[in-house]
């Protein structure tokens, strides 16, 4: 990476800088390598630190850089492909997944979830209590997602009363798994990590995340709703039959067809 000056251009400096850095990343850096610090880089390119940071932010958003306070900026590995069903043991509680249960409370569902339950569930009221299970999904030793799973009480009628807190979430998941899953539908959208999610994902609040909302249909009605929050910087969500097709490259410049 030379001591290049930025030539005059129509495009914003930070955008040009992004391109220059992206090329340097491809040709001169290995995964895991640490970049010079922001002050040095800014000086090297003759821009203010804020401008350099704007370029780094872009590259981090694209999953090509990883920045850690107190440590430095490193070249990120390719994104992890995480299967998001349908397929395999997708019904929560199925055996060999990588979810780790964190806790469980009973509370009314937040408005967004309540309205989802409302549509697909005769007789459900927004103030009804639901089992709310928080889980964390690990992959390659890192946390990639946190999930809140909302299970209306009468979806799991066989649940024993008065369970100790540690047994409670396991029991809910087991009862859930006994039901027959008919279908599921999902939405994916961009969001930013709330404080609790951010902590579980080892990121700062506001970090970009992919929010996956799943409705599980069983017995002709919505049996459960899951809101999963995936780290957008490190994850690539995979859908469909093929599952684990490995793609080991970054999304690169595409050709215009016009």
Partner DNA sequence: GAGTGGTCTAGACCACATT
Partner DNA sequence: ATGTGGTCTAGACCACTCT
Task: Give residues with Cβ within 8 angstroms of 207, minimum separation 6.
Answer: 192, 193, 198, 201, 231, 232, 233
Contact partner at residue 165 from DNA, a copy of itself, none, CB < 5 to 8 Å by partner kind: none
Q: Is position 112 an interface residue for a copy of itself (rule: CB under 8 A)?
A: yes
Q: How, if at all, do strands 208-218 and 183-192 pair?
A: antiparallel
> Could you say which of 17, 47, 58, 137 contacts a copy of itself (CB under 8 A)?
58
Spatial contact of 231 and 137, defined as CB atoms under 8 Å apart: no
Complex with DNA: residue 58 or 155, whichever CB lies closer: 58
Q: Which of positions 7-46 make contact with DNA (CB under 7 A)?
A: 12-15, 35, 37-40, 46
Using alpha carbons, list the distances in angstroms from residue 139 to 18, 98, 108, 143, 150. 29, 7, 31, 6, 23
Q: Are strands 65-68 and 221-231 parallel, antiparallel or unpaired?
A: unpaired
Please report whether residue 64 would count as binding DNA according to CB under 7 A: no
Is 111 a binding residue for a copy of itself by CB under 8 A? The answer is yes
User: In this chain, which of 105, 112, 204, 247 binds DNA, going by CB under 7 A?
Assistant: 204
* 3-class secondary structure, 204: coil
Question: According to CB under 7 A, which residues from 111 to 140 bind DNA?
Answer: none
Residue 150 backbone phi and psi in degrees, to 5: -105, 120
Do 59 and 21 meet the contact criterion of CB atoms below 8 Å apart? yes
- Residue 218, contacted partner among a copy of itself, DNA, none, CB below 5-8 A by kind: none
> How many CB atoms are located within 10 Å of the residue 95 CB?
6
How far is Cα 189 from Cα 211, in angstroms, rounded to an integer?
5
37 binding partner (options a copy of itself, DNA, none; Cβ < 5 to 8 Å by kind): DNA
One residue of 23, 33, 40, 185 binding a copy of itself per CB under 8 A: 185
Q: Which stretch binds a copy of itself (CB under 8 A): 39-47, 65-73, 104-112, 151-159?
A: 104-112
194 near DNA, judged by CB under 7 A: no
Q: Does 119 bind a copy of itself (CB under 8 A)?
A: yes
């Amino acid at each position: 990476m030379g001591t290049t000056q930025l030539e005059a251009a129509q495009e914003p400096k930070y955008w040009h800088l992004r391109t220059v850095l992206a090329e340097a990343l491809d040709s001169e850096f290995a995964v895991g390598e640490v970049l010079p610090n922001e002050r040095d880089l800014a000086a090297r390119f003759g821009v203010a630190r804020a401008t350099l940071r704007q370029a780094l932010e872009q590259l981090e958003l694209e999953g090509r850089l990883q920045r850690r306070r107190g440590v430095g900026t490193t070249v990120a590995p390719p994104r992890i492909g995480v299967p998001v069903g349908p397929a395999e043991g997708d019904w929560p509680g199925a055996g060999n997944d990588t979810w780790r249960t964190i806790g469980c409370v009973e509370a009314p569902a937040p408005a967004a979830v309540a309205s989802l339950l409302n549509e697909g569930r005769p007789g459900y009221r927004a103030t009804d209590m639901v089992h709310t299970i928080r889980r964390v999904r690990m992959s390659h030793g890192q946390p990639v997602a946190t999930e809140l799973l909302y299970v209306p009480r009468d979806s799991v009628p066989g649940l024993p009363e008065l369970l100790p807190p540690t047994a409670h979430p396991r029991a809910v998941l087991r009862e859930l798994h006994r039901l027959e899953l008919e279908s599921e539908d999902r939405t994916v959208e961009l969001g930013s990590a709330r404080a609790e999610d951010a902590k579980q994902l080892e990121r700062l609040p506001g970090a970009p995340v992919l929010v996956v909302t799943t409705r599980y249909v069983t017995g002709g009605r919505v049996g459960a709703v899951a809101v999963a929050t995936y780290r957008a910087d490190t994850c690539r969500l995979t859908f469909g039959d093929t599952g684990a097709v490995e793609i080991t490259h970054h999304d690169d410049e595409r050709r215009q067809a016009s």
